[in-house]
């Protein structure tokens, strides 16, 4: 939306938040779209980051850090909702938000000028788990997989084997579990077709876990963890709490992923070169390629194929087909549905085989349809 004015961006963000059940941000963004102080604050952000979600995250970050202001009463993540579901006073949340920006302008400014919005959605593991089981069940069955996650954020999805999974068949409610059932990170997904279509869910052994990101976040850093939390919406507590639980897993794990800083195209070969070449390598990425131009998306595919010339490589990605014209995503009947934003889970490999659409899934893994 490069040509949109800031007020137009706020209204558009409010509309999309509202459609997705984010009533707090919808009310705030419609309400402050013409507020001169809020717009001036937005103007301080670097052009590429000048988006309403950056200001929303900056404010949320301060509230999560304990900044005292009446706005906190409107954020479920700071103040759990009252039992009757109503906010403590009948005030207009946008007015309170604008007041927060006035009172805490000096604390917001450095966040607006230096931060970028970033998420790490472990719900996507609802697709990664069966895909990795599918890959592990192939020719290299007995060899542990090495994982290289491009655009890894805090590397949380590289800990997919420390989460518990429950797949529920939509038609009759029957369920299938996987992973350590005692995990505090519980991933639940509705299966839109038949549970029996999923691969056998034997969690594969992992040799190495490496993440690459332009701006990797350290889950053991209180500041980085709070920024990740702040980038989520304040009225989606299940998603927020799951992120918190995943961050706790990342802090406690005995095999933390190695996170590297760099560009996923330019630095792919360098980072892959640090991973033991004797076993299969899965180069994976989820909701990242949309950040690249179609030319860079094609360059990414070329880089993976070049890598496959020297070792056993699988390419696995969960991306929105509409946003990644440079990546091949064989069509499916699910793509015809316009009401749901469909993510295609695609596997190519080993070594440059024709890409196969393994599944369609919700962007955060709420549902999946596995294609046999
Ligand atoms: C939407 S987040 C997705 C994070 C994670 N893959 C997930 O599914 O939760 C996109 C991530 O890609 C990273 N990123 C964007 N462009 C990149 C690039 N050219 N090279 C490396 N990382 C990039 C961002 O820093 C961010 O952490």
DSSP 58-71: HHHHHHHTT---GG
**Residue 18 sits in the same domain as residue 139:** no
**Residue 237 sits in the same domain as residue 330:** yes
User: Which atom of ligand 1 lies nearest, measured to the CA of 296?
Assistant: 19
Q: Give distance in angstroms: CA of 29 to centre of ligand 1.
A: 25
Residues 56 and 25: their CA atoms lie apart, in Å, by: 8
Structure confidence by residue, pLDDT tens digits, 201-223: 999 999 999 999 999 999 999 99
**Residue 327 sits in the same domain as residue 291:** yes
Pocket test for ligand 1, best of 122, 125, 159, 214 (most atoms within 8 A of CB): 214
Q: Which residue has the higher pLDDT, 238 or 353?
A: 238
Q: Is residue 301 part of a domain?
A: yes
Model pLDDT, residue 338: 47
Q: Is residue 66 part of a domain?
A: yes
Q: Give distance in angstroms: CA of 266 to centre of ligand 1.
A: 14
Are the CB atoms for 150 and 288 separated by under 8 Å? Answer: yes
Using a pLDDT cut of 70, give the percent of the chain over it.
Answer: 94
CATH number at residue 162: 3.40.50
**Residue 244 sits in the same domain as residue 283:** yes
**Residue 298 sits in the same domain as residue 280:** yes
**Residue 174 sits in the same domain as residue 302:** yes
**Residue 240 sits in the same domain as residue 163:** yes
**Residue 110 sits in the same domain as residue 126:** no
Residues 242 and 164: their CA atoms lie apart, in Å, by: 12
Q: Is residue 225 part of a domain?
A: no
Average pLDDT of the residues of the chain: 92
Structure confidence by residue, pLDDT tens digits, 127-144: 999 999 999 988 555 799
Domain with 234, as residue range(s), is 122-220+230-370
Q: Is residue 186 part of a domain?
A: yes
Q: Tell me which of 71, 94, 114 is where a domain ends.
A: 114
Enter the tokens of residue 233: 């919406």
Q: Is residue 178 part of a domain?
A: yes
Q: Tell me which of 91, 114, 137 is where a domain ends.
A: 114
Strands 367-370 and 356-361: antiparallel
Taking CA atoms only, the protein residue closest to ligand 1 atom 13 is: 151
Taking CA atoms only, the protein residue closest to ligand 1 atom 9 is: 120
**Residue 277 sits in the same domain as residue 356:** yes
Q: Which residue has the higher pLDDT, 337 or 115?
A: 115
Q: Which residues line ligand 1 (CB under 6 A)?
A: 118-121, 124, 151-153, 157, 212-215, 263-264, 286-288, 291
Q: Tell me which of 114, 136, 151 is where a domain ends.
A: 114
**Residue 103 sits in the same domain as residue 133:** no
Using a pLDDT cut of 90, give the percent of the chain over it.
Answer: 83
Whole-structure pTM value: 0.93
What residues contact 333, with CB distance under 8 A and at least 6 apart?
none
Question: Does the structure show a pLDDT above 60 at 336?
Answer: no
Q: For residue 360, give Cα distances in angstroms to 236, 318, 334, 368.
A: 23, 9, 7, 6
Enter the tokens of residue 15: 């509309």
User: Which atom of ligand 1 lies nearest, measured to the CA of 153?
Assistant: 27
Model pLDDT, residue 90: 63
Q: Give distance in angstroms: CA of 87 to centre of ligand 1.
A: 35
pLDDT average, residue stretch 179-191: 97
Enter the tokens of residue 310: 């020297």
**Residue 99 sits in the same domain as residue 169:** no
Q: Is residue 181 part of a domain?
A: yes
Cα 332 to its chain centre, rounded Å, is 23
Cβ atoms within 10 Å of 255's Cβ, excluding its own: 12
Q: For residue 172, give Cα distances in angstroms to 47, 165, 167.
A: 49, 18, 12
Domain count for the chain: 2
**Residue 79 sits in the same domain as residue 29:** yes
Model pLDDT, residue 339: 46
Residues 227 and 225: their CA atoms lie apart, in Å, by: 5
Q: Is residue 54 part of a domain?
A: yes
């Amino acid at each position: 939306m490069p040509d949109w004015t800031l007020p137009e961006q706020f209204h558009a963000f409010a509309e999309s938040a509202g459609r997705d059940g984010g009533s707090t941000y919808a009310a705030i963004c419609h309400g402050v779209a013409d507020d001169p102080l809020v717009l001036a604050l937005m103007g301080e952000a670097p052009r590429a980051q000048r988006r309403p979600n950056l200001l929303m995250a900056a404010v949320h970050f301060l509230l999560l850090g304990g900044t005292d202001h009446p706005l906190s009463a409107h954020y479920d993540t700071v103040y759990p909702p009252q039992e009757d579901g109503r906010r403590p006073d009948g005030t207009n949340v946008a007015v309170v938000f604008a007041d927060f920006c006035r009172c805490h302008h000096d604390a917001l400014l450095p966040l607006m000028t230096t931060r970028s919005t970033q998420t790490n959605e472990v719900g996507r593991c609802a697709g990664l788990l069966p895909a990795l089981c599918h890959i592990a069940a192939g020719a290299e069955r007995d060899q542990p997989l090495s994982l290289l996650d491009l655009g890894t954020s805090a590397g949380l999805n590289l800990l997919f084997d420390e989460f518990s999974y429950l797949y529920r068949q939509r038609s009759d409610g029957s369920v299938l579990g996987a992973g350590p059932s005692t995990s505090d990170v519980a991933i639940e997904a509705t299966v839109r077709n038949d549970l029996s279509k999923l691969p056998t869910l034997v969690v594969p052994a992992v040799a190495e876990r490496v993440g690459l990101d332009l701006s990797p976040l350290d889950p053991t850093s209180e500041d980085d963890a709070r920024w990740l939390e702040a980038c989520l919406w304040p009225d989606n507590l299940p998603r927020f709490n799951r992120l918190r639980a995943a961050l706790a897993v990342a802090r406690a794990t005995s095999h933390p992923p190695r996170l590297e800083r760099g560009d996923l195209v330019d630095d792919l070969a360098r980072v892959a070169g640090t991973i033991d070449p004797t076993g299969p390598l899965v180069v994976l990425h989820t909701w990242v390629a949309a950040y690249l131009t179609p030319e860079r998306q094609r360059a990414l595919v070329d880089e993976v194929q070049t890598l496959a010339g020297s070792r056993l490589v699988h390419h696995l990605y969960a991306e929105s087909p509409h946003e990644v014209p440079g990546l091949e995503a064989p069509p499916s009947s699910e793509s015809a549905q316009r009401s749901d934003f469909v993510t295609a889970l695609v596997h190519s490999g080993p070594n440059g085989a024709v890409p196969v659409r393994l599944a369609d899934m919700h962007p955060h893994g709420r549902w999946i349809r596995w294609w046999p």
